[in-house]
Amino acid sequence: MRVRSGNIRSSQYSDPEKSIVTEQVDCAVIGAGVVGLAIARELAMAGREVVVLEAADAIGTHTSSRNSEVIHAGFYYQKGSLKAGLCVSGKWLLYDYCAGHGVPHSNIGKIVVAVTEDEIATLKSYVQKAEGNGVGDLRWLSREELRELEPEVECVAGFLSPSTGIVDSHALMLAYQGDAENNGAAVVFKSPVESGAVASGGIVLNVGGEEPMTIACKSVVNSAGLFAQDIARSIEGMPAQSIPPQYFAKAHYFTLSGKPPFRRLVYPVASNAHLGVHVTVDMAGQIRFGPDVSWVDSVDYSFDHSREPLFYEAIRKYYPGLKGGQLQPGYTGIRPKVSGPKEAAADFIISGPPDHGVGGLVNLFGIESPGLTASLAIAAHVRTLLAD
């Protein structure tokens, strides 16, 4: 593991039998996804000495690059939840950040629609949640207004969310990484954290890879996404009862061939805890449909082509003009969940020393949507936890 001088300090001891050097660092962030990079940026800009440990060979190889790339408004989440508060505040931070750093993004808005009369109650519940979360810009649309905004959408009711947008997630991560590194942080790839232990004055991490190393850290932020529970369980002295269950929800995305029929995002009402197969638009104007949801036991990004008929069925409920053969396989993603398939969607879990009793350690569990939207707000929250 190679890092720039000044980020990791060699200590006075090593294990000659294993050829493993022991180093010291102020703060290690585990995981170089969008949230981990935002946290590294925040801590580095606050004057902390930061090293980001990433098991893969690049940034954002999992959830951060396999999602809808939506900037969410913040009306799906329960009032008072971390998801609600961090999404709403993070949304405005993200828009400002993207504008100031040249990150491609667009505040294109979205419409949320009911395709049957009995779904209107769910639409109304979103508006109520929005008001409770401080999202006051939703606008009910008449059927004529809906048809004018999106002529191809068939529905009985809907509203416009003007503060919803899209962002180039990879460009955003590169910007976060650049800010972190410009403030002295180091991002180190192919450096999987294999185990650790709570020690006097901090946490010791055992890092594998081509150049194994033991790092003594004053602070550790576990932002390993899909593998956050695995990391937490590997740290000796971390209370097991403070580690939530671990579930994987797999999502498929299909792209649309032909001329784009939509100008903005289109979401049907949610089915249980799942937001449904919706319309997203990327920065190149490509239309994507997804995600669906299936529960898997491990991280597997293979594409199940047999799900295509289910997509046609779901999409045609609000876009009856979809023709056979227009859907093309896109990609898959997996969301880190702390609630199972028969449970209500859970809140983010951002667990600091007061929660688990381990000084200098912050664990982030279940950081799925709206994690990208909330990334800057999450980073500020983590900095506060470590400052207490």
Same domain, 331 and 226: no
Mean pLDDT value across the chain? 93
pLDDT digits over 14-41, tens only? 444 444 557 899 999 999 999 999 999 9
Residue 115's domain comprises 110-162+247-337
Q: Is residue 180 part of a domain?
A: yes
The per-residue pLDDT for range 84-127, each reduced to its tens digit, is 999 999 999 999 999 999 999 999 999 999 999 999 999 999 99
Instruction: Encode pLDDT of 252-274 as tens digits.
Output: 999 999 999 999 999 999 866 56
Q: Are residues 135 and 253 in the same domain?
A: yes
Q: Tell me how far the alpha carbon of residue 35 is from its chain's centroid.
A: 7
pLDDT number for residue 275: 65
Considering the domain boundaries, does residue 267 fall inside one?
yes
The per-residue pLDDT for 381 is: 98
Per the structure, the count of domains in the chain is 2
Q: Are 283 and 220 in the same domain? A: no
Q: Is residue 75 part of a domain?
A: no
Residue range 315-341: average pLDDT?
Answer: 96
377 & 276 share domain: no
pTM over 0.85: yes
Reply yes or no on whether the pLDDT at 3 is more than 50: no
pLDDT confidence band for 371 (50 / 70 / 90): very high
Burial of 57 (0-12, 13-18, 19+ CB in 10 A): exposed
363, burial (CB in 10 Å: exposed 0-12, middle 13-18, buried 19+):
buried
Residues 144 and 224 in one domain: no
Do 180 and 232 have their domain in common? yes
Query: Are residues 25 and 47 both part of a single domain?
Result: yes
Looking at the domain assignment, is residue 154 inside a domain? Answer: yes
Establish if 378 belongs to a structural domain: yes
Per-residue pLDDT reduced to its tens digit, 263-314: 999 999 986 656 679 999 999 999 999 999 999 999 999 999 999 999 999 9
- Whether 195 is covered by a domain: the verdict is yes
Query: The domain spanning residue 311 has which CATH number?
Result: 3.30.9.10
Residues 219 and 350 in one domain: yes
CATH code for position 48: 3.50.50.60
Domain shared by 156 and 252, yes or no:
yes
Least confident of 19-28, 61-70, 200-209, 226-235: 19-28
Are residues 263 and 136 both part of a single domain? yes
Least confident window among 20-24, 60-64, 178-182, 330-334: 20-24
For the cut 80, the answer to whether the pLDDT of residue 354 exceeds it is yes
**pLDDT over 70 at 190, yes or no:** yes
Domain assignment present for 299: yes
- Asked if residue 261 and residue 139 are part of one domain, the reply reads yes
Alpha carbon distance 34, 379 (integer Å):
10
Q: Which two tokens stand for residue 354?
A: 């007061």
* pLDDT on residue 21: 53
